[in-house]
């Protein structure tokens, strides 16, 4: 056990506050009491602390609560509490369900948020340069040689488009069945990558003929081609056919695939 040695005034002064606040150990309290019994100076410091605490309590006692106001405290607190909405989630959800207007608002907000998200996603998707609908994609497509929007001319290295075997009979409808004596007819068109005729025009004596163009376009829509190819890939090409002494069938033609009276 550590012997009790009398502390000096400097040490005691540091203990006085703790002793005043009931935070000093019993052992140190004993030493402190021994010291104070013989040291008037340290007793003066202790008395100052004590009188300061007494004065504080005295001052506080002079500022007593207003009893009338204090009596209102509890009722007012409970009244304010009663007016406060219940913040628990269970009650919040129940309130929302009970309040249809709020439910509609929440539904509308959710729908608007969803629509906004979709628009945003679509915008982001369209804005991606890899998307064919984006500006970059459109420019890329339109400027690519051999695309439908920018067809090639038949030059060396480009194979000719050929009428597909299954639509050859329909192609034959555009042929000189009955000479009409219309010279200098020309058909200009684009054979697309997909093998269809597009941008069909019939030129008669150097002038576009709208009636013939419509009639030919109707027939041409049923004709399929094996598309022209460049380096093995299908490409769109411009074609011009001279249709001298050509008759355009203006009346329905019997289906050649199922000829009438055939065995």
Partner 1 sequence: MKPARAIDWSETADSESDIAERCASGDAQACQDVVDTHQRMVYHLALQLLSNHDDALDLSQDVFLTVFRSIHRFRGDSALQTWIYRIVINHARNRQRWWRRRRRADQVSLDALIEERGELPAPLGPTSPDRALDQKQLGERVWRALNRLPFDQRSAVVLRELHGMRYAEIAFSLGVSNAAVKSRLARARHTLRTELQPQ
Residue 94, CB half-sphere, CA atoms under 13 Å: how many? 7
Stretch that binds partner 1, among 1-9, 42-50, 102-110, 175-183 (CB under 8 A): 42-50
Closest to 180 (Cα-Cα) out of 225, 215, 224: 215
Count of residues in contact with partner 1, rule CB under 8 A? 38
CA distance 263 to 253: 19
CB of residue 3 to partner 1, shortest distance in Å: 28
Q: Is 49 a binder of partner 1 (CB under 8 A)?
A: yes
Q: Is 166 a binder of partner 1 (CB under 8 A)?
A: no
CA distance 182 to 77: 105
- Which residue, 68 or 260, is less far from partner 1 as judged by CB? 68
Taking the CB of residue 98, how many other CB atoms lie within 10 A of it?
9
- Which residue, 81 or 100, is less far from partner 1 as judged by CB? 81
CA distance 255 to 95: 72
Within 59-78, which residues bind partner 1 (CB under 8 A)?
59-63, 65-66, 69-70, 72-74, 76-78
Q: What are phi and psi of 109, to 5 degrees?
A: -65, -45
- Which residue, 87 or 101, is less far from partner 1 as judged by CB? 87
CA distance 32 to 42: 10
Within 75-114, which residues bind partner 1 (CB under 8 A)?
76-78, 80-82, 84, 86-88
Stretch that binds partner 1, among 41-49, 121-129, 173-181, 235-243 (CB under 8 A): 41-49
Helix (H) or strand (E) holding 216, with range, is helix 210-220
- Contact set with partner 1 (CB under 8 A): 17, 21-23, 44, 47-49, 51-63, 65-66, 69-70, 72-74, 76-78, 80-82, 84, 86-88
């Amino acid at each position: 056990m550590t012997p009790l040695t009398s502390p000096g005034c400097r040490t005691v002064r540091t203990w006085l506050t703790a002793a005043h606040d009931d935070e000093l150990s019993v052992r140190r309290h004993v030493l402190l009491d021994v010291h104070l019994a013989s040291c008037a100076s340290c007793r003066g410091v202790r008395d100052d602390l004590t009188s300061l605490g007494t004065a504080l309590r005295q001052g506080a006692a002079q500022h007593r609560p207003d009893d009338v106001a204090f009596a209102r405290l509890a009722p007012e607190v409970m009244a304010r509490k009663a007016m406060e909405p219940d913040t628990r989630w269970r009650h919040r959800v129940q309130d929302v369900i009970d309040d249809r207007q709020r439910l509609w608002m929440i539904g509308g907000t959710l729908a608007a948020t969803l629509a906004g998200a979709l628009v945003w996603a679509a915008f982001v998707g369209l804005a991606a340069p890899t998307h064919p609908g984006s500006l970059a994609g459109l420019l890329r497509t339109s400027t690519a040689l051999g695309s439908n929007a920018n067809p090639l001319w038949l030059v060396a290295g480009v194979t000719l488009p050929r009428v597909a075997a299954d639509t050859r009979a329909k192609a034959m409808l555009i042929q000189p069945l009955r000479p009409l004596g219309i010279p200098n007819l020309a058909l200009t068109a684009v054979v697309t990558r997909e093998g269809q005729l597009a941008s069909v025009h019939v030129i008669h004596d150097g002038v576009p003929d709208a009636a013939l163009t419509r009639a030919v376009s109707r027939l041409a829509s049923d004709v399929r081609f094996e598309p022209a190819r460049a380096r093995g890939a299908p490409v769109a090409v411009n074609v011009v056919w001279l249709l001298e002494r050509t008759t355009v069938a203006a009346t329905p033609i019997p289906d050649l695939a199922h000829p009438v009276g055939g065995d």
